[in-house]
Structure 1
Amino acid sequence: MPPVPTPPTDPRAQHLMNEQQRELRRLYNDEDSRTEPFDPQTLSGEGSLLLTLEEDGRLLACGALKKLEADTAEIKRMYTVPGARGRGLGREILSALIQAGREAGYARLVLETGNQQPEAVHLYERAGFRRIPNYGYYADMEDSLCFELPLR
């Protein structure tokens, strides 16, 4: 089943993204109690798109596009539940997001991942993303790795 657009207000999607945030906090030993649960409004704006993969009514993977500038969107919220990893679901989501970015007319996609996520780095590099200097919020974060993919 291909990735499908999903409202960020879907409780299953919210649960999936909250799980992603919990996993990242564990991975990076981030005990920041100020971190709030996923806010669906962050993916509700113009140019935003949340895609999910579902099996037997359960969401297994997600990823989103969020408009940053007129010609640039950011890949956000890439996540696959641990029990479904190794099946290529992240690759499916990423490919669909790249296609959606092209169809929306974006000139490039950017993303941030962490230096403790070699599988994610490999996924992005295999899809053609190349390292760029850390941008925006991530500019001074030592654990962050930023990437870009020109679409034109």
Structure 2
Amino acid sequence: MPALSARSVVQVAVSDPRVRPLLRELGEEYSARYGKDAHAELARYPDEEFTAPHGGVLLLILENGEPVAGGAFRRYDEDTAELKRIWTHSAHRRRGLAREVVGELEREARARGYRRIYLTTGPRQPEARALYLNTGYRPLFDTEADPESIGPLPFEKHLPSPARTGKATAQ
């Protein structure tokens, strides 16, 4: 019987060395799909946007200490978190890890008081489009149109209100 892997979800800074495989592989994949160097796009936002107190987070799923999936969100506006850099290592795809990352990011965004999630994905990423449609995201574009004619494909999802704590609030 194969040994079970030790899995954990950790919040990390963009500068954490375990993030490098995520950014490297994302850059290579986006560059191959879109025919231009995508590494500049991945560096478009300052690292601070993915950490507290700036309203963001970067999560990694580790198996036996190695990153297998990850993703981030940044503050889009006071009520909205924007998902960025959702990634699953190419050797670990088709295991539901991206769905797990999105769920973890949604939980963290909700815990931080966000009520909505916004994201865009590229027209040449049908797997991402399917992931968001299958996890309850509402497309903000015509799903019947040719994705190449739209450009980045925007989605949104409204998060449930946080559970009441039972504490009275001052009026």
2:47 corresponds to which of 40, 45, 49? 40
SS of the residue 1:3 aligns to: strand
Residues of 1 paired with 2:42 and 2:94: CA distance?
A: 27
* Pair 1:27-2:63 in alignment: no
Deviates more, 1:86-95 or 1:56-65: 56-65
Shift in alpha-carbon separation, 1:31–1:102, aligned structure 2, 3 A: closer
Structure 1: gaps spanning 5 or more residues: 134-140
1:114 to 113, 116, 122: 122
TM-score (norm 2): 0.76
Report the CA distance between 1:114 and its aligned residue: 1.1
1:60–1:84 Cα contact (<8 Å) kept: yes
**Post-superposition shift, 1:71?**
0.6
Are positions 1:14 and 2:41 aligned together? no
| CA radius of gyration, larger in | 2
Aligned twin of 1:124: 132
CA distance in 1, matches of 2:132, 2:37: 27
- String of CA shifts for 1:80-138, please: whole Å, max 9, x gaps: 111100111101110011111111111200001011111111111111101115xxxxx
- Output aligned runs, 1:3-152, within 5 Å: 3-31=9-37, 35=40, 38=43, 40-44=47-51, 46-132=54-140, 142-152=150-160
Q: Give aligned-pair identity as a percent.
A: 35
- Equivalenced residues, count: 144
Give the secondary structure class of the aligned counterpart of 1:116. coil
- Using a 3 Å threshold, how does the CA distance of structure 1 residues 119 and 10 change in structure 2: closer, same or farther? same
Contact 2:11–2:58 (CA under 8 A) maintained in structure 1: yes
SS at match of 2:40: coil
Deviation, structure 1 residue 14: 2.9
The offset of 1:36, in angstroms, is 6.7
Q: Which whole-Å CA distance do the structure 2 matches of 1:90 and 1:36 have between them?
A: 21
State how far apart, in whole Å, the 2-side matches of 1:41 and 1:19 are: 21
CA distance in 2, matches of 1:31, 1:50: 23
Alpha-carbon distance in 2 for matches of 1:44, 1:15: 19
For the residues of structure 2 that align with 1:3 and 1:87, how far apart are their CA atoms? 16
Could you list the runs of 5+ residues in structure 2 that have no partner in the other structure?
Answer: 1-6, 142-148, 161-171
- Residue 13 of structure 2 aligns to a residue whose secondary structure is coil
